[in-house]
Structure 1
Amino acid sequence: MAISSSILFCYLLFSLISNVASSFMYSDDRRDVLFPQILKEEAVTRLDELGKVSDANGYLQRTFMSPASVRAGNLIRQWMEDAGLRTWVDHMGNVHGRVEGLNASAQALLIGSHLDTVVDAGIFDGSLGIITAISALKVLKSTGKLGKLKRPVEVIAFSDEEGVRFQSTFLGSAALAGVLPVSALRVSDKSGVTVLDALRENSIDIAEESLLQLKYDPASVWGYIEVHIEQGPVLEWVGFPLGVVQGIAGQTRLKVTVRGSQGHAGTVPMSMRQDPMTAAAELIVLLERLCKHPKDFLSYDGRSNGSTLESLSSSLVCTVGEISSWPSASNVIPGEVTFTVDLRAIDDAGRETVLYELSNQLYQICEKRSVSCIVERKHDANAVMCDADLSSQLKSASYAALKRMTGETQHEIPVIMSGAGHDAMAMSHLTKVGMLFVRCRGGISHSPAEHVLDDDVWAAGLAVLAFLETHV
């Protein structure tokens, strides 16, 4: 009896140890399938490393062809080569990494985002899309599948999306899409340096002819996808790490110059002033009222209808992000004030209606105040709808990625609109586009407080990997 009890005890103990061992073995296998070393740990480390490459001390800033931008491009190029990609830098400073797969003549999938940043930026905007793409391809290299892709895949780190230095967004992606005008090469920054100068300072000798040659042949491209932080609160609110983008809002950027009569702050009576600063202040408040309450300003006429007004009420946003005055002295009534306007809406017709009404109201205020006003349209981009098939494929890839991570079938992947502009807007002129959003804490972006969970970086990389494994 004692012997039987001992045998039974040993059997139960052996079974328990076997089950525990099997459990750990399953966990290890599952981790191998999830590739955490590449898609999570290494990706997060690289995001941190890239976030330290800055032109400023104490905060992140990388603008088009700045020294830090060039260093960041070199670093990204190294990581592309580490993933098994052939690399080069084109005449607009875009960094490319490409693998030909089984059929080099097949249409290529392009994956990209931007390496430039705003002033005092976060480390994820733009960089996340580049790093997740490189990481997914590195996984394929490590598993021996990189050369077995059915079509070429090219990762592109675009040189300019934010438009901080030259106030002209999408310099990098618009050149490849063939929609960047030759005149863009002659645009100058605040120091008088032109785009052409900035490129030549970095040993990139570009001429008008070579700019035109940058355009990709649409017949050679299968599609474009982009991974990007949401820059909004929706995914965090619904509790999902990933969301598929349905479309991107159209955008207009204006530069408004108000000129008045410069004078002494202590000697010119208030009733006799032609003050461009107070005029600019009234114009800015008008803009806020118009964009908060478009229905109070726009009527149901040939320019707007009920659906347009409804769309504007939910999607219209307007921002004055920069203002300057001359001569900018505390004891001088300014002679000139300049400010920027950033206006966005999902409905292009509605956006034009708002701009028309803003222009009318603006000139009335300037006339009333006896100042002159000049409005320059610096940038226009129509709203872009993402390709339905690409969006469906990205949704399936997101399902697959989250199921791999959690072992459970997920609920419906959110489908959301983007109020921010992206390189996908420019690339839509070349090919079909799709976008995947990644949750960011508090919806905060364009700020050092910008944050993405390590596991969400992981989920994004897995989704790109699943997309490549299934559709490319």
Structure 2
Amino acid sequence: MTASLLTLDALNAADETDFVALLEGIYEHSPWIARRAFAARPAGGFASLPALKLALATAVRDATTGEQLGLIRAHPELAGKAMVSRSLTAESTHEQNKAGLTDCTPEEFSRLQQLNAEYNARFGWPFILAVRGPRGDGLSRQQIIDTFARRLNAHPDIERAECLRSIHRIAEIRLNDKFCVTPTLGNQVWDWAESLARFSDPGFAEQGQLTVTYLTEAHRAAADQLAAWMREAGFDEIGIDAVGNVVGVYHGEGREADRSTDREAPRLLTGSHYDTVRNGGKYDGRLGILVPLICVRELHQQGRRLKHGIEVIGFAEEEGQRYKATFLGSSALVGRFDAAWLDQADADGVVMRDLMAQAGLAATLDAIRGLARDPARYLGFVEVHIEQGPVLNELDLPLGVVTSINGSIRYLGEVRGLASHAGTTPMGRRRDAAAAVAELILYVEERASAVPEVVGTVGQLQVPAGSINVIPGRCRFSLDLRATTDAARDALDADVRQRLAVICERRGLSFTLERTETAAAAPSDPAWQQRWEAAVTSLGLPVHRLPSGAGHDAMKLHQAMPQAMLFQRGLNLGISHNPLESISNDDTELCVWAFQALLNAL
């Protein structure tokens, strides 16, 4: 398909009839979307292509359920009757060709027909998937079939929303074609992340799963690859420090005529972690390394330096998967590396100190303490991260500005009652430990829901030696309580503990509660948050502010210097810590642009 060049100036100058005609085919057989976007057009026209994309998506989000279903049903089935009869639109024909759906084997074609029938029977509309994928160059037929089968199990409300998001992605790619736009920087970051994911720990790599834990062979290979990319990008200094952090420095411009760089110029510190959870995703942490990396590459290729230096760090460990030590990499930078960590052993009995020595690291507390940064040398710390949640996805927004990283308190608890016969013990005579924990779970849900930006979770439940015909005498559970401020977190904590005591007293039970972790909230520095907001606004996008429920390296750097974060939308309902974690090249392009805008504004 040959794209016809369209410009934003031409679109902004058009009347309603021409506006709708120019956007014909962007949304399948649904000109009403363009009409409503035209009605919402700002007085000066759309400031950017991303602003236009958002206006179109907003028109769909604000439509009635009937209109949304009509839009979904306007789309053809994948490898369906319309494709066979060659009655698809030119756009759909191009997309299905790009994904190779016109070249299905008989087995693949039969499987797709079966899935189409099952899907229509369950939901009453055709399965929608942006078959050109998150990079825009086409999913494989197997990826399409696997996604089709997975989404058959979704709740209808969730699946309808996911279909609409797929339609917006289809529209985004079609708009790129019309405007002859290629997200080159987003593609590069996406490709780097894909390449970095080839390193995975034994036992996971063989299954096609991504797992990179502290100082394994895969971890060290990932570090070497990041260092190599930094070297190619033009960083002035590249190294791997005493805990395995990958550090790249791009110096500021010189203040004297005979100096091209100023090694003493204040620096902006940025980065994220390159380790992963077990069977994790490709973008958690790594996005925050690769985005500033490409920004430095662009500066170097342009022969530009800023008045300040840029220090990019790939933190060696944040997830706490191999040892009971989270934020190992960033803790060293703020002088909070716990000396006891060096003597910890992993599940195989490997002591951290010995592991470090085997990896060629200094493995001494003095060397690690020497990594602590002098806050006076730094402007602050900024971090880019995938959201790891559904909020931006549901709002059709590519970027969001973080207001605070939640503080948290975690417990492991156990309620003890009396294990007795399920048939012979009257209901009023029972001491059921599991029923007490169930009551606590409902209270945690109710109490956390009553306060904005507060969350509580019971993620682990276990009835030791439980049996189908025995009243639970013991029930073990976990508690995870989080809030954007320590005061809100502590209030939730006090109420939950008090309610547990009340429940157990009323039911004649006892309990134990062991606090396993406490993390302080890390509110974003107001000035740095405003810089991120200005960067997002410069792209023609609205600013959406949201807290981070997950912990990040930024909350450790917060202990030493001002910090603020930018979130990028995740695809697949915002799922993270999971192989389904995904981003698009277009969103990543905007993330890079926002980072460049922040750098230039400094």
> Which of 145, 150, 154 in structure 1 is aligned with 2:311?
154
Supply the distance in 2 between the matched residues of 1:257 and 1:167 (Cα, whole angstroms): 21
2:155 matched to which residue of 1? none
Q: Structure 2 matches for 1:61-100, cutoff 5 A?
A: 61-85=211-235, 86-100=237-251
**SS, match of residue 318 in structure 1:** strand
> Which of 410, 423, 427 in structure 2 is aligned with 1:253?
410
* Residue 125 (structure 1) aligned with residue 284 (structure 2): yes
Kept in 2: contact 1:397–1:466 (CA 8 A): yes
Structure 1 pair 193–450 and aligned structure 2 pair: CA distance change class (3 A) = same
Supply the distance in 2 between the matched residues of 1:120 and 1:470 (Cα, whole angstroms): 39
Q: Which runs of 5+ in 1 are unaligned?
A: 1-18, 24-33, 296-309, 403-409
Residue 104 of structure 1 aligns with an amino acid whose one-letter code is R
Structure 1 pair 255–455 and aligned structure 2 pair: CA distance change class (3 A) = same
Residue 434 of structure 1, CA deviation: 1.4
2:173 matched to which residue of 1? none
Per-residue CA deviations over 1:23-79 (Å, capped at 9, x if unaligned) read: 9xxxxxxxxxx9944x22221111111223222133222222233222211111111
Q: Give the root-mean-square deviation of aligned CA atoms.
A: 3.6
What is the TM-score normalised by the length of structure 1? 0.75
Q: Structure 2 matches for 1:174-193, cutoff 5 A?
A: 174-193=331-350
> Which of 178, 196, 208 in structure 2 is aligned with 1:50?
196
Structure 1 pair 384–36 and aligned structure 2 pair: CA distance change class (3 A) = same
Question: Across the two proteins, how many residue pairs are aligned to each other?
Answer: 408
Query: What percent identity do the matched residue pairs reach?
Result: 35
Per-residue CA deviations over 1:396-436 (Å, capped at 9, x if unaligned) read: 22333x3xxxxxxx243212222121111111011111111
2:30 matched to which residue of 1? none
Structure 1 pair 135–220 and aligned structure 2 pair: CA distance change class (3 A) = same
2:584 matched to which residue of 1? 453
Structure 1 pair 185–360 and aligned structure 2 pair: CA distance change class (3 A) = farther
Per-residue CA deviations over 1:152-194 (Å, capped at 9, x if unaligned) read: 2110111222223334421211221123332333444444444
- Deviating beyond 6 angstroms after TM superposition, the runs of 4 or more aligned structure 1 residues are 258-261, 324-337, 364-372
Structure 1 pair 95–255 and aligned structure 2 pair: CA distance change class (3 A) = farther
Per-residue CA deviations over 1:74-93 (Å, capped at 9, x if unaligned) read: 11111111111221112222
2:546 matched to which residue of 1? 416
Q: Which runs of 5+ in 2 are unaligned?
A: 1-5, 11-180, 254-261
Kept in 2: contact 1:168–1:379 (CA 8 A): no
Residue 466 of structure 1 aligns with an amino acid whose one-letter code is A
What is the TM-score normalised by the length of structure 2? 0.60
Per-residue CA deviations over 1:276-329 (Å, capped at 9, x if unaligned) read: 9x73x446434422321128xxxxxxxxxxxxxx8x622222234456787899
Supply the distance in 2 between the matched residues of 1:330 and 1:205 (Cα, whole angstroms): 54
> Which of 536, 546, 550 in structure 2 is aligned with 1:398?
536
Supply the distance in 1 between the matched residues of 2:473 and 2:397 (Cα, whole angstroms): 51
* Residue 40 (structure 1) aligned with residue 193 (structure 2): no
* Residue 214 (structure 1) aligned with residue 371 (structure 2): yes
* Residue 469 (structure 1) aligned with residue 600 (structure 2): yes
Kept in 1: contact 2:536–2:542 (CA 8 A): no
Supply the distance in 2 between the matched residues of 1:431 and 1:455 (Cα, whole angstroms): 32
Supply the distance in 1 between the matched residues of 2:478 and 2:328 (Cα, whole angstroms): 19
1:285 matched to which residue of 2? 438
Residue 140 of structure 1, CA deviation: 0.9
- The higher relative CO (CA closer than 8 Å, separation ≥ 6) is in 1
Kept in 1: contact 2:339–2:365 (CA 8 A): yes
Q: Structure 2 matches for 1:215-254, cutoff 5 A?
A: 215-254=372-411
1:351 matched to which residue of 2? 489
* Residue 143 (structure 1) aligned with residue 274 (structure 2): no
Q: Structure 2 matches for 1:245-394, cutoff 5 A?
A: 245-256=402-413, 279=433, 281-282=434-435, 284-294=437-447, 313-322=451-460, 339-362=477-500, 373-394=511-532
Supply the distance in 2 between the matched residues of 1:65 and 1:332 (Cα, whole angstroms): 46
